[in-house]
Amino acid sequence: MSERFETTTVHIGHKPLSRAASKSTPIYQTSVFAFDSLEEVEKYYEGEGEYLYTREGNPNQVELASAVARLEQAEAGVSAASGMGAIMAGLLSILSPGDHVLASHEIYGGTYALLQKELARLDIELECIVLDSGTSLADHVRPTTKLFFLETITNPLLTVVDLPFWIRQAKELGLYVMVDNTFATPYLVQPITFGADLVVHSGTKYIGGHSDVTCGVLVGSRPLIARATEIVVNYGASLSPFEAWLAARGLKTLAVRMERQCDNASEVARFLQNHPAISRVYYPSEEATAFFARPKQGAMVSFTLKDERKIYDFYRALDWIKFVPSLAGVETSVSHPVTTSHRAFSEEQRKAAGITMGLVRMSVGIEAIDDIVSELARALEN
Ligand SMILES: Cc1ncc(COP(=O)(O)O)c(C=O)c1O
């Protein structure tokens, strides 16, 4: 090695420590991996080497995706730069031009926009249906119907979709099923165990859990995930190593966070149900969540103020519970669907969906329950 300063400053002596047993996973903050010889490169392309270029794969991405796959009881997983990136990869791993998609009418607005604005240009047709007792998937299936897309817990009214019932119907009709399990997490329910083909997460939410990372994870069978991985790579939707590392670190506490957040949320729901300023509380019932893996009802609570003119005062009166148009962090936060997530809805659509000016969506955190309740009580006194 040259002794010249300019060369030495660049070649600072990094040696990969393949046998150093660090307790936590290092961040492989590298865009590319080095090879000792052309033979090693050949081996990579023959499937023997693991990593070449971070957009095509990186140990931090793999750690996150494999962990979520294990928790969801799936064969394989792939991470993406956002929940939307993971949803896109999942949809495109199944759909081709000419296909028809059935989806719950309560899917996340971003998913709706992806299907309605982007995939429609690929001649993929979306039909949204209300998942209630009057609906039969068979009435909506066409020869071109390929996929049924649904969410375990809907936003913002927190309806729990009866996954075993709907997935069974879809499978009997020969459809692929993709479930967005963001609001429930694998701590509460694993849709693969009911026959779902793909499960997707906005890892930005409970998987990461600390509101410091934007990422997505898609899990499912090996062949579908292999195709979805090609799509993530080809569309350039790969997750950065640091974001993957943050999400994987957050994931380690998913069980303790969810246990505490669900318990706190059920206390908040109980408190609100008895409050004179509240006209309605939306919180999943024990009956609706009977198919969950645990006797918990989730960590989100929505409610409507009796007097919706007081909505501005309510948000102003909150002190440490912050208004954030997202969810699932360890801190309790509130959002307002009419001014944020459902802003694009017309007055008529909002009315039909029950999303009114007085509706508050609360993401319950891990704080002491007495503090959460007294902060809410104070803000509702207005
Ligand atoms: C249920 C659900 N799915 C998907 C997404 C999209 O995730 P991301 O913002 O990480 O792309 C969101 C975002 O809020 C969501 O709430």
Distance 200 CA to ligand 1 centre (A): 10
The residue nearest atom 13 of ligand 1, judged by CA position, is 202
pLDDT value of residue 1:
66
- Cα–ligand 1 centroid distance for 34 (angstroms): 35
Under DSSP, is residue 335 helix (H, G, I), strand (E, B) or coil? strand
Q: Is the CB of 209 under 6 A from ligand 1?
A: no
The second-level CATH assignment, the architecture, of 38-251 is: 3-Layer(aba) Sandwich (3.40)
Question: pLDDT at position 345, please?
Answer: 80
| Structure confidence at residue 352 (pLDDT) | 81
Q: How confident is the model at residue 93 (pLDDT cuts 50, 70, 90)?
A: very high
Looking at residue 310, the DSSP 8-state letter turns out to be G
Q: What is the pTM of this model?
A: 0.96
CA separation, residue 194 to residues 89, 197, 224, 292, 315 (Å): 22, 9, 17, 11, 40
Cα-to-centroid distance, 111 and ligand 1 (Å) = 8
Domain locations in the chain?
38-251, 254-380
pLDDT at 219: 98
How many CB atoms are closer than 10 A to CB 138?
10
Whether 333 lines ligand 1, by a CB cut-off of 6 Å, is no
Q: What is the pLDDT of residues 7-58, one digit of tens each?
A: 888 887 777 777 788 999 999 999 999 999 999 999 999 999 899 999 999 9
Do 323 and 335 touch, CB atoms closer than 8 A? Answer: yes
What tens digit of pLDDT does each residue of 97-131 get?
999 999 999 999 999 999 999 999 999 999 999 99
Percent of the chain with pLDDT over 90: 89
Residues 111, 155: contact at Cβ < 8 Å?
A: no
Please list the residues that pair with 149 across neighbouring strands. Answer: 103, 178
Q: Give 202 Cα–ligand 1 centroid separation in angstroms.
A: 5
Contact assessment for residue 44 and residue 34, using Cβ atoms and an 8 Å cutoff: no
Instruction: Please tell me the distance from the alpha carbon of residue 264 to that of residue 270, in angstroms, as a whole number.
Output: 10
Residue minimizing CA distance to atom 16 of ligand 1:
108
Query: Which atom of ligand 1 lies nearest, measured to the CA of 182?
Result: 1
Ligand 1 pocket mutation, candidates 158, 161, 202, criterion most atoms within 8 A of CB: 202
- What would the CATH number be for the domain defined by 254-380? 3.90.1150.10
- Give the rounded distance of the alpha carbon of 100 from its chain centre: 23
Q: φ and ψ at 52, to 5 degrees?
A: -130, -45
Give me the amino acid identity at 152. Answer: T
